[in-house]
Amino acid sequence: MNQTLTWGEAFAIYTRPRVIAMAFLGFSAGLPILLVFGTLSAWLYRAGVDKSTIGHISWVALLYAFKFVWAPLVDRVSLPVFTRILGQRRSWMLLAQAGVIFGLMAMSASDPQTQLTALVWAALLVAFSSATQDISIDAWRIEAAVVEWQGAMAATYQLGYRLGMMVASAGAFYVAYFQSWPAAYFTMACAMGIGVVTTLIISEPERKVSETTWLQEERVMGFLERTHHWPSRLRHMVAWFIGAVVCPFVDFFARNGKFAFVILAFISLFRISDITMGIMANPFYLEHGFNEAQIASVTKIFGLGMTILGALVGGVLVVRFGIMRMLFASAILVALTNLAFAWFATQGADIRLLMLVISGDNLSGGMAGSAFIAYLSSLTNRAYTATQYALFSSLMLLFPKFIGGFSGDVVDGFGYVAFFTYAAALGIPAILIIVYLMGRENRQQKNYNNL
């Protein structure tokens, strides 16, 4: 398909209704994450919390990296009443959105100076609920469109996602600047209503796998045949666990063999550079001399335009040239833009220079996002959509979030120039693995052509 589409046909993918719908779902997914990550770090910094503690609190976002643990529930468990009315994917979306709203309201009622523990617990609720929403939205996206559309689905998802992030960053910064940080978080809770409305409007995708399909899986049937003497309830629970939890992971390794470990290593390393850098970005801007309004205007609003441009261009280029080439190009660009921040750290608080580095960083980040989401989507078996994609996206965050938790320690010990250089160097292993993956793909294509 990549070699036969014209440019007009490639761009026409953005007129598909379900491709458009991903923008609204992306908004709902993008709103919460910064509120327990970068935006929260700015609030804590203004409240007098030290940078090391800010870095450690960022581990709240590690919940996103463990969502594969409860993804089988989202994949297989029906919610009373709601699943019958809304369907499997939308019912879980709605439940997760309610959790995000409640958590954000609890955060808005907490004072970081006197109630830091309560604020962290509320942030954990937001992160858990947001990660659950991600599981259901990712499953909806994969089930709602063919593989060839996933690059475009990823692009419009990023469009909405970045709009949500803009509201959660620029919007929150503006409200905080003119009112207060608690008011900002309460406003963000209200903005989640957009996600609720979207969930109620969209249609449930057709599921080719029924809720009882797992009973016909070979491992489940074998277990049931061997355990006739077990109590019925216990036997059914274990059989469900095998079908919902064990089979999705076994399927991935069965399809890929030992090469699965290379794939998982790449997934865990691809975003380590930009995630590590992102934790200290807002404290850097504030310490460098910019105020909240300037940060909101340049890094959030102006930066959003560059990210959207990068995402849309990336989606088209994935359709046109393929996933692997775009992964390679964007990975190099992401590392280079971190080096640009290292240079910027040696300059004064010039708003023009800030716009320059933000342009490069967000453009490359948008392109990388479209290519990477399309790559992860291509790895899934639609019999286990939510569980397998949750595994991939969890690994995408687990190691980067853990390493990123030490960002404040690196800044305190070595300064921002060394930190941004270190963040750029973290991207090198992923680039090397992409080279290997591209070589393997080329060899497979040559072998196929020789048949």
Residue 225 has pLDDT above 60, yes or no: yes
Q: Above pLDDT 70, what percent of the chain?
A: 90
The pLDDT score that the predictor gives to residue 216 is: 53
Pair 130, 32: CB distance under 8 Å: yes
d(CA 96, CA 33): 13
CA-wise closest residue to 126 among 33, 265, 188: 33
Per the CB < 8 A criterion, the answer to whether 242 and 234 are in contact is no
Instruction: Find the range with the poorest average confidence among 142-151, 181-190, 279-288.
Output: 142-151
> Once rounded to an integer, what is the mean pLDDT over residues 147-161?
75
Other Cβ atoms less than 10 A from the Cβ of 228: the count is 8
Which parts of 203-309 are beta strand (E)? none
Query: Residue 27 — very low, low, confident or very high, per pLDDT cuts 50/70/90?
Result: very high
Token representation of residue 83 = 């699943």
Asked if pLDDT for residue 292 goes beyond 80, the answer is no
User: Is residue 58 very low, low, confident or very high in pLDDT (cuts 50, 70, 90)?
Assistant: confident
Those residues whose C-beta lies under 8 Å from the C-beta of residue 79, and which sit 6 or more positions away, are 91, 92, 95
User: Does 267 have pLDDT greater than 60?
Assistant: yes
- DSSP structural state of residue 60: G
> Tokens 């608690």, residue?
182
Closest CA to 169 of 355, 41, 334: 41
The 10 Å CB-count burial string (b at 16+, else e) for 190-220 is: ebbebbbebbeebeebeeeeeeeebeebeeb
**Looking at residues 66-88, what average pLDDT do you find?**
84
Closest by Cα among 116, 158, 144 to 309:
158
Residue 450 CA to residue 443 CA, distance in Å, equals: 11
Q: What is the pLDDT of residue 1?
A: 42
pLDDT grade for 218, boundaries at 50, 70 and 90: low
72 vs 102, more confident: 102
Q: What is the mean pLDDT of residues 75-91?
A: 87
Number of helices (H) and strands (E) in the chain: give both, helices first. 26, 0
Report the mean per-residue pLDDT for the chain.
83
Contact 276, 403 (CB under 8 A): yes
pLDDT score, position 382: 67
- How far apart are the C-alpha atoms of 259 and 122, rounded to whole Å? 40
Q: Mean pLDDT over residues 250-257, rounded?
A: 83
DSSP SS3 for 394: helix
The predicted pLDDT at position 146 comes to 65
Rounded CA Rg of the chain: 22
Mean pLDDT over residues 13-20, rounded?
76
pLDDT digits 0-9 by tens, 405-449: 788 888 888 889 999 999 999 989 999 999 998 888 778 777 666
356, two tokens: 């320059």
Distance CA 277, CA 49 (A): 19
- 211 against 258, higher pLDDT: 258
Report the predicted TM-score, pTM, of the whole model to 2 decimal places: 0.66
DSSP H/E element including 406: none
For residue 95, pLDDT beyond 90 = yes
Tokens representing 182 are: 């608690």
Q: What is the pLDDT of residue 419?
A: 92
Residue 2, pLDDT score: 44
Q: Provide mean pLDDT across the span 174-193.
A: 93
Kindly indicate whether the domain formed by 7-204+213-446 is annotated with CATH number 1.20.1250.20: yes
CA 429, 432, 436, 442 torsion: positive or negative? positive
| pLDDT reading at 155 higher than 70 | yes
In the chain, where the domains are located: 7-204+213-446
For 299-338, write each residue's pLDDT tens digit: 878 887 888 888 888 877 887 777 888 889 889 998 898 8
122 Cβ contact partners less than 8 Å away, ≥ 6 residues apart: 103, 104, 106, 107, 110
Which uninterrupted H or E stretch holds 426?
none
Would you state the structure tokens that stand for residue 173, as one six-digit string? 């910064």
Spatial CA neighbour of 264 closest among 170, 396, 137: 396
Reported confidence tier of residue 99, pLDDT bands at 50, 70, 90:
very high
pLDDT the model gives residue 428 = 92
- Distance CA(42)–CA(224), nearest Å, equals 54
Query: What beta strand segments (E) does 356-409 contain?
Result: none
pLDDT single digits (tens) 331-373: 999 889 889 999 999 998 888 998 999 998 888 888 888 888 8
